[in-house]
Homo-oligomer: A and B are copies of this chain.
Amino acid sequence: MIKNDLFLQALAGSTLVRPPVWIMRQAGRYLPEYMKIREQYDFFTRCRTPELASEISVQPIRRFHMDAAILFSDILVVPQAMNIAVEMKPGVGPVVPDPIRSLKDLQNVVVPDVQKELDYVFQAVQMTKEKLQDEVPLIGFAGSPWTIFCYVVQGKGSKNFEKAKAFCFAKPQEAHQLLEKITQTTILYLQEKIKAGVDAVQLFDSWGGLLSPQDYALFSWPYLQKIISALAPAAPVILFAKGAWYALEEMTSSGVSALGLDWTLTAQKARQYCGEKITLQGNMDPSRLYSSPAVIQKEVREMIRSFGPSHYIVNLGHGILPDIPLAHVEAFVEAVKTYTE
């Protein structure tokens, strides 16, 4: 039994007096205790070493007592397991030295034995659950097939992922084959992650919003729907598709427990698209944490008044930025925890 299960209650649609709160990238670079570990071990060593990944996952909970932990990992462990090399270059971000651009490249991409190739993730889940001692639930995550596709075709981060799009538009058949392989792997991966102990799963379609609604319906949504349908009975699923506001209506009836929102949506517009019943998660602009703690607290309270307190999970509209002062994060979390109507 999880002692503070507010987050799971919100996902189940219970009536609450205050919403739960967690922060995307809460285990990461704004935390001095994380930076100490970062000095000693490179990025994928931190992901691949269960002792480190679990320690990093619980650090923000010890300091700020959010209502949920999220496993420290990366969406790109999935293509690594599929026989696509991914490196993390400091100051650059993820780099795929041999990006997938042709049918020949595609033939080397496998749907792996997930239990073997990603065992280190499942061990990290178990170790994090032990360290959490049932204080709060643990979230596991994966990237959407389209978002993984963007990286492995483009070869690195990009503003518009033109090479990934060019591949879709010039070679749609090959693109769908690659998306299908990523989808199959992701389903196996998340099923194992749930077995290993995560209490909920979040799907990140970080680059979904780069597609037109018509192309989203071709290259992203069908694959997300497959994953959601394969998982939804086993664990609650949260879908966060940054920028894909135009697909929210369709997502509402997909079987997800909650929809993550970026900061371009007001509560009113979000409810108009999603209805009253589904749980929404978000959505303060991460840059808004540069405001003074007093302003942050005022804005959090306004956000809860517009969205919640029920059917709502407080979060940012994207990952926390590395240079946000700890006192500002504290103000954000505290404003939720002390919220009264």
Contacts and interface: CB of A to CB of B under 8 A. Distances in A.
B212 A165 contact: no
Interface size range of chain A in the complex: 20 to 34
Contact of A212 (B160, B285, B321): B285
A321 B287 contact: no
Interface stretch (A8-16, A259-267, A331-339): A259-267
Give the one of A160, A285, A287 with max B CB within 10 A. Answer: A287
B287 A165 contact: yes
A170 interface: yes
A41 interface: no
A222 interface: no
B245 A291 contact: no
Number of copies: 2
A219 to B, nearest CB: 11
A215 interface: yes
A12 B162 CA distance: 35
B290 A321 contact: no
Given A170-B291, A209-B264, A290-B169, A215 B245 contact: no
15 contacts: A159-B159, A162-B290, A162-B321, A165-B290, A166-B287, A169-B287, A169-B288, A169-B295, A170-B291, A211-B285, A212-B285, A212-B317, A213-B266, A214-B266, A246-B264
